[in-house]
Amino acid sequence: MRPFFVPKSPSRPIFAAHRGASDRALENSPAAFALAVSDGADMIEFDVRLSSDGVPVVFHDDRTGRTARENLAVARTPSGRLRSVRLKNGERLPFLADVLEIVGGSVPIDIESKARGGIAAAGRVLASADYGGEVLLSSGLREECLAARELLPAIPCGLVTGRPSASDLAFCLRHGLSSIHPDRRLLTVLRLRKVQASGVPLFPYTVDDPEEAFALFASGAIGVFSNRAQTLREEWKRR
């Protein structure tokens, strides 16, 4: 199994900023990433889709309408057109290269591929930027995880899933994935025990309540993805 990278403080869990500091700025926006960097976040997670000409765009949904001023299908729109799109906070829609420049290697990042070919495209951008920061790759598409292991074997990759099934855990173990990222809403006591018994590091999403986060840590989670990552980290320090 490809080991998960060592956090800044190995004695405490990882609080990953889900889509940047999304409790204080628009998700997946330059402002949200800049805030997370200024927070000294443990990790910044964000989503990558591909434009029609194969350029990695940092956006969660398949259409831009929920968080942007225009409603375009990302996969059917060329990168030149997407570069003109303004988010609802007035900023330009960011591309992967833009986010790498904002973070500058100062904080570990988790690049979650939402589209087939996203990992390969992200790898090209990382190489072009000569990016030296710590990177975690992830995807809910198994073929993307396989692409990560084949194309970027030195970078850890986690499987994103709804409920962590026996098949999911077997896939992680068979292909040397670093972690499994399940939906916290679908985690039962039995499933938590099965993940812990498998030895695959547990990193659930999206956990905003401190009590729920701490209960997951007690059940073996190495960290959580959270819209309130900084708040959870401060609460952890107080306890």
Q: How do the pLDDT tens digits run along the chain, 239 residues long? A: 445 655 556 678 999 999 999 999 999 999 999 999 999 999 999 999 999 999 999 999 999 999 999 999 999 999 999 999 999 999 999 999 999 999 999 999 999 999 999 999 999 999 999 999 999 999 999 999 999 999 999 999 999 999 999 999 999 999 999 999 999 999 999 999 999 999 999 999 999 999 999 999 999 999 999 999 999 999 999 98
Overall fold of domain 14-238: TIM Barrel (3.20.20)
DSSP per position, 111-148? EEE-STTHHHHHHHHHHHTT--S-EEEEESSHHHHHHH
HSE-CB for 199 with a 13 A CA cutoff:
8
Extended strands (E) in the chain: 14-18, 43-50, 56-58, 109-113, 135-139, 157-161, 179-182, 223-226
Q: What is the pLDDT of residue 1?
A: 47
Domain residue ranges of the chain, discontinuous segments joined by +: 14-238
Cα–chain center distance at 95? 15
- What would the DSSP string read from start to end of 27-55? TTSHHHHHHHHHHT-SEEEEEEEE-TTS-
β-sheet bridge partners, residue 182:
161
* Interacting residues of 197 by C-beta distance below 8 A, sequence separation 6+: none
Tokens of 117: 């070919």
Quick one: pLDDT at residue 8? 58
